[in-house]
């Protein structure tokens, strides 16, 4: 009988600010998390991610490489960040030169189950639950839908 290879979730090589709260299980590695942050359970934060101060990341969210999140942000349950647009017709399969970065400003709230493609979001934005952000957001306001559009 064959035995599977079993990986365990870990917290490895993370730079933490002061007063950070984590709820396990988590898989976070090679990233930095600012002061007074909260990271809920079943979250993965990959290497080279930067999360600013006073930011809350709820359960079941995935923050991939090349993402920067500002200060005073909220990432709802099940939010997915994407860095590979399958530009070659499928996954980049380790070819990181095809990956794109994402930048989230300060005071940004992202609703549950939103999907954030590699874009830039300015300060003071609300992204509605289930929204799919496909383009840069350069004006403060509330954005909803697929693709996300400004409603106020």
Average pLDDT score, the chain: 95
Q: What is the tens place of the pLDDT at every residue in 29-81?
A: 999 999 999 999 999 999 999 999 999 999 999 999 999 999 999 999 999 99
The answer, yes or no, to whether the previous bond of 61 is cis (omega within 30 of 0) is no
Quick one: average pLDDT of 92-111? Answer: 91
CA distance 112 to 95: 30
Residue 92: what pLDDT? 83
Query: Is residue 2 domain-resident?
Result: no
Residue 4 lies in a domain: no
Domain encompassing residue 26: 11-85+97-150
**Is residue 115 included in any domain, yes or no?**
yes
pLDDT category of residue 95 using cuts at 50, 70 and 90: confident
Q: Is 98 left (phi over 0), alpha (psi -120 to 50) or beta?
A: alpha
pLDDT of residue 126: 98
- Beta strand 115-116 with 141-144 is unpaired
20 domain-assigned: yes
Q: How much is the pLDDT for 99?
A: 87
3 in any annotated domain? no
Query: How many folded domains does the chain comprise?
Result: 1
Q: Quick one: what percent of the chain has pLDDT higher than 90?
A: 86
Q: Is the pLDDT of residue 94 over 80?
A: no
CA distances for 54 relative to 20, 49, 84, 151, angstroms: 9, 16, 28, 27
User: Measuring CA to CA, how many Å separate 108 from each of 7, 33, 43, 137?
Assistant: 33, 16, 19, 11
Please check whether residue 90 lies inside any domain of the structure.
no
pLDDT of residue 96: 83
Does some domain include residue 50?
A: yes
Do the domain assignments include residue 1?
Answer: no
CATH number of the domain encompassing residue 23 = 2.160.10.10
Q: How far apart are CA 30 and CA 50, in angstroms?
A: 10
């Amino acid at each position: 009988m064959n035995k599977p290879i079993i990986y365990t979730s870990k917290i490895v090589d993370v730079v933490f600010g002061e007063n950070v709260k984590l709820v396990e299980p988590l898989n976070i590695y090679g990233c930095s998390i600012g002061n007074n942050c909260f990271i809920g359970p079943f979250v993965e934060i990959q290497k080279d991610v930067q999360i600013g101060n006073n930011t809350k990341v709820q359960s079941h969210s995935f923050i991939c490489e090349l993402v920067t999140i500002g200060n005073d942000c909220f990432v709802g349950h099940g939010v997915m960040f994407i860095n590979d647009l399958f530009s070659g017709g499928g996954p980049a399969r380790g070819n990181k030169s095809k990956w794109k970065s994402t930048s989230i400003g300060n005071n940004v709230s992202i609703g549950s189950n939103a999907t954030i493609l590699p874009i830039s979001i300015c300060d003071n934005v609300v992204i509605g639950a289930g929204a799919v952000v496909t383009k840069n957001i350069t004006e403060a306001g509330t954005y909803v839908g697929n693709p996300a559009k400004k409603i106020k």
